[in-house]
Amino acid sequence: MVVADVLVVDDDSEHLAIFRSLLGKLGHSVTLADNGYLALRFLQHKRFDLVLADVVMPLMDGAEFRREAAKMRPDLPVVFVTGHRRQAARLLGEDAPMLFKPVSTNTIESVIRERVG
């Protein structure tokens, strides 16, 4: 089993709590950010293996977050998790790595294995 340091970015506190619980039960280290600016600050100080980011957020949407994060860590895998399929595709493009809420434990584990190794 792969153990990863995961940064989760979502403006919904309920979703953050769900990801904290799910990833924690799977043995992963989890850092939560309720907006893209806070997530970028975390990226300056800690090396993460993977980012799970919402797409539709106030302050900084997922597309802007990805652009800014890539300037600091171009190799960092960012997988988007959204409940807004059409809006996400419009903001990110159809080929962006995307999961749709609600996300199962098996799906999260598969993504971590695939993206982190």
Per-residue pLDDT at 42: 98
- Alpha carbon distances (Å) from 115 to 48, 50, 59, 71, 77: 12, 7, 27, 19, 7
Per-residue pLDDT at 74: 96
Q: What is the pLDDT of residues 19-66, one digit of tens each?
A: 999 999 999 999 999 999 999 999 999 999 999 999 989 999 999 999
Q: Where are the domains of the chain?
A: 5-26+35-46+55-102
Q: Which residues contact 75 (CB under 8 A, 6 or more apart)?
A: none
Q: What is the pLDDT of residues 64-79, one digit of tens each?
A: 999 999 999 999 999 9
Q: Annotate 8-58 with three-state secondary structure.
A: EECCCHHHHHHHHHHHHHCCCEEEEECCHHHHHHHHHHCCCCEEEECCCCC
Per-residue pLDDT at 83: 77
The alpha carbons of the chain give a radius of gyration, in whole angstroms, of 13
